[in-house]
Homo-oligomer: A and B are copies of this chain.
Amino acid sequence: MTKAMLKQPYKRPGVTINGAEAEVCLWAPLAKSAAVKLESKGDILPLEKAAYGYWQLTTDKLLEGSHYKFMLDDKDALPDPASLSQPDGVHGASAVVNLNAFKWSDANWQNPVLQDYIIYELHTGTFSDAGTFEGIEEKLDHLVSLGINAIEIMPVAQFPGERNWGYDGVFPYAVQNSYDGAKGLQKLVDACHAKGIAVILDVVYNHLGPEGNYFNEYGPYFTDKYNTPWGKALNFDDAGSDAVRHYFIENVLMWFRDFHVDALRMDAVHAIKDFSPVHLLAEIKGRVDELSKETSKPHYLIVECDLNDVRYINPPAQGGYGMDSQWIDEFNHALRVTAGGEKTAYYSDFEGISHLAKAYNDAYVYDGQYSPHRDKHFGSKAVDNTGEQFIVFSQNHDQVGNRMLGERSSELFSFEMQKLMAGAVLTAPFLPMLFMGEEWAEANRFMYFVSHTDPELAEAVRQGRKAEFAAFHAQGEAPDPMTEETFNNSKLQWALPAQGKHKLMLDFYSELIALRKALPALHQLNRKQTFAQADEQQNTLILS
């Protein structure tokens, strides 16, 4: 056997507590030397060079809670790219966390079959007054009584400051310190399971946030081969890509294994550029299937994908990536246009009731037709895919928060129309998803907010946001994403669901969900037996 055929010495990257010792694994292929720098006493622990650009060490000097950085050659020490904790934010030292210390009480938990999922998307910082995992835990009874059995948590990877949707996360292994960190998330998942609620975690594998991004110092995490809306693409198929793939694959496994998360929702996977024979997602699928055999639990993989391409959800034998389910924004777009919403930007492709009927029948509205907005023929046919492979909603964080003012449906559509929209989602032969607060027609907006600590970047975001909405100045000024006020004004108002029309809406949603659970025709998701017909004159949809 040649050297080239040796099995790789890959371990989980970062620092892993293993009994009384810690295992350190770092990928830094260009470094001549690498060391751990302990922040307390300034001790330097040299790492040993291993194959393929990795460095490793087994040491008893790194303990739970130890603060450390890595030093490459003689350069300034930097946080660990696979840090599990950033107690002082994205620029500070990393802290050791023992993920195995948590005492789980969910041995009897059964992840529901995916077909039964009724999903509730929430943002930790604005879901509760506390803006933490603890804050979510306190409200689980509300979700149980609503009939929800799966929450989808917007990304929790450490981001700069304390206010962010999560898509600027830059430490994919570290749970946001201001949310309660890793242990807080473990506690929340355990509590959810005790209440019969599955946890879907939103993870971002298509880019890394701009602030606190030290990845280039460590190795070729990025490639020039592809460009994304967020700059250079992560390197999934160029020289050095083995380690980058490994980094993200181990991240997937960590959430399932160490956090007992039930499903991942992978953000914008169309921006994962990978021309390898086995696409990163297909490799993830294979590794997660192996893990499922070990854990004897189902672990679902859900993707956000803007390609209408069944390759993502088809089985590997057909050349697919084997993802369990995907979001379909087109259902949302068709629904909102049907409900009288504006027809600008991506909504311009949608025609209302006929397209809504098409979404019911075919999942993808564009499955081969010419799309004016995209200026090309677009999409593939999803004839052989099952209902649970598609997730539908009448609003999510994007459709709300990417508006200049962040208006929810509650502000844009009449009360009765909101009910119709809820009905459309909850009777669809797909998995339904609500956006937090929708169930009581929350009045607060959900706005775009950040809290970058780099003043230049903060100003760039502020100006970028202004420029983006310059054409809409008649509607007022875009809220300043950097202020605490914008964040606070985006929080749910928990007094509302007990009041007047908010209570009415909550009762309506609860009953609709109960109906969906009770009626086999609504939850069996048999796409072949469901047929939607549009009556364009009446602007109604007949389901049969």
Contacts and interface: CB of A to CB of B under 8 A. Distances in A.
Contacts of A52: 370
A380 B318 CA distance: 16
A237 to B, nearest CB: 8
A270 B275 CA distance: 9
Contact of A2 (B278, B308, B354): B354
Interface string A34-59: 00000000000000000010000000
A376 B241 contact: yes
A102 interface: no
A348 to B, nearest CB: 11
Contact of A242 (B6, B29, B277, B377): B377
A277 to B, nearest CB: 4
Nearest to A53: B375
A224 B4 CA distance: 36
Contacts of A241: 376
A4 B226 contact: no
Interface residues of A, number: 46
Contacts of A275: 270, 273, 307, 309
B370 A4 contact: yes
A340 interface: no
Contact of A372 (B4, B273, B376): B4
Contacts of A278: 380
B227 A374 contact: no
Interface string A165-202: 00000000000000000000000000000000000000
A112 to B, nearest CB: 30
A470 to B, nearest CB: 22
A520 B317 CA distance: 34
A275 to B, nearest CB: 7
Contacts of A369: 4-5
A503 interface: no
A8 B241 CA distance: 41
Contacts of A210: none
Contacts of A479: none
Q: Give this chain's copy count.
A: 2
A277 B311 contact: yes
A310 interface: yes
Interface string A296-322: 000000000001111100100111100
Interface string A261-292: 00000000010010111100000000000000
Contact of A307 (B277, B354, B375, B377): B277
A240 interface: yes
Given A308-B277, A317-B318, A370-B52, A375 B240 contact: yes
A30 to B, nearest CB: 11
Contacts of A273: 226, 275
B4 A371 contact: yes
A321 to B, nearest CB: 10
Given A2-B354, A275-B307, A310-B277, A374 B239 contact: yes
A242 B318 CA distance: 25
Contacts of A370: 4-6, 8, 52, 242
Nearest to A224: B227
A139 interface: no
Contact of A351 (B2, B239, B314): B2
A225 interface: yes
Nearest to A321: B319
A379 interface: yes
A318 to B, nearest CB: 6
A382 to B, nearest CB: 10
Contacts of A372: 4
Contacts of A319: 311, 314, 318-320
A8 B277 CA distance: 33
Interface string A344-359: 0000010100100000
Interface in A368-394: 369-372, 374-377, 379-380
Contacts of A349: 4
A8 B354 CA distance: 21
A52 to B, nearest CB: 7
A5 B349 CA distance: 12
A443 to B, nearest CB: 37
Contact of A225 (B8, B227, B237): B227
Nearest to A351: B2
Contacts of A8: 370
A458 B367 CA distance: 47
Given A4-B371, A239-B375, 7 more contacts: A5-B369, A225-B227, A237-B376, A238-B376, A240-B375, A241-B376, A277-B379
10 contacts: A4-B371, A5-B370, A29-B375, A239-B375, A239-B376, A240-B375, A242-B375, A273-B275, A275-B309, A277-B379
Closest 7 interchain pairs by CB?
A: A319-B319, A277-B380, A239-B375, A277-B309, A242-B376, A241-B376, A4-B369
